[in-house]
Amino acid sequence: MKQELTNLWKDWRLHTIVLVIVLLTETIGTHSFTVGPGVVLLLPMLYAIIIGLGLFFTPLIKEKQSKNAEPLIVLGVTLLIAKIGVIIGPSLPQIIEAGPALLLQEFGNLGTIFIALPVAIMLGLKRESIGMTHSVAREPNVGLIMDKYGFNSPEGRGVMAIYIFGTVFGAVFMGLISGFLATLTPLNPLSFAMASGIGSGSMMAAASGSLVAAFPQMENDILAFAGASNLLSLSTGLYMSIFIGLPLTEKLYDIMTRRKSTSSRVEKGA
């Protein structure tokens, strides 16, 4: 084990490629453009995933680098979770001031489990669906799944699939849907500002940017509600996943797969 760790840190090719990708994507920076009332936000993380994926199919990346990168993902997520933990304490007064609507919004995020999990099972996914549907699969949730099931588990592959999908398409989707819904429905724009805070800074920025573009006179209120909502999701979202979201998903998965297997046996018997 010690020898493996030594070889990992001595993999100069992997570290050099990662450094070059980071420098390149940070140089490109953040760009955005509007589509109707929506805003599409292009972030350095998006470029990094696309470049890294492309390099995987070139001679620069070999199987050795691919394997060595796996434990580094867990290490990076661990550091991020530690940072989030440090943020939670000083932010508690802001969360309390946000009011009961923001405090209750986290229960609304659990509602997607009842929609996403049945669809995943119908599509033929197995335990990958637990990692995919228990949350929006941002960094804290990736860390939770890695800690409980491991990186190479079906649940780990599921949460990483949604994490990558969310990084590539999440900000684009949130930027478009918030602007279109806020302008086409009679709901208060501040309700969409609250809904944009799902625990992802990029998705919140895209969604709130669309709302500000559509309602510039409400810019300060939109940014305040979106920021408080996102802060709350970062602070409490992980605990909701630990104590409610993940156990609920596992229970529903067991019930649905048991019924599905029972139905299959009945049909075969008939």
Tens digit of each residue's pLDDT (9 = 90 or more) over 204-255: 888 888 888 888 898 888 888 887 788 778 777 888 888 999 999 999 999 9
Q: What is the pLDDT at residue 265?
A: 60
Check: CB of residue 158 under 8 Å from CB of residue 12: no
Check: CB of residue 137 under 8 Å from CB of residue 166: yes
Confidence label for 68 from pLDDT (cuts 50, 70 and 90): confident
Residue 110's SS3 state is helix
Check: CB of residue 201 under 8 Å from CB of residue 80: no
Range in 64-68, 86-90, 117-121, 122-126 with the lowest mean pLDDT? 86-90
Residue 241 CA to residue 153 CA, distance in Å, equals 18
Residue 192 clears pLDDT 70, i.e. is over it:
yes
Tens digit of each residue's pLDDT (9 = 90 or more) over 36-51: 776 676 778 778 888 8
Q: What is the pLDDT at residue 240?
A: 87
Residue 207 CA to residue 211 CA, distance in Å, equals 6
Check: CB of residue 30 under 8 Å from CB of residue 23: no
- Percent of residues, the chain, with pLDDT higher than 70: 81
Q: Which residues touch 252 (CB under 8 Å, ≥6 apart)?
A: 113, 114, 117
Give the angle subtended at the CA of 19 by the CAs of 166 and 79, to the nearest 5°: 60
Residue 206 CA to residue 111 CA, distance in Å, equals 23
| Average of per-residue pLDDT values in the chain | 80
Query: For the whole prediction, is pTM greater than 0.85?
Result: no
Of 76-80, 83-87, 99-103, 245-249, the range with the highest mean pLDDT is: 245-249
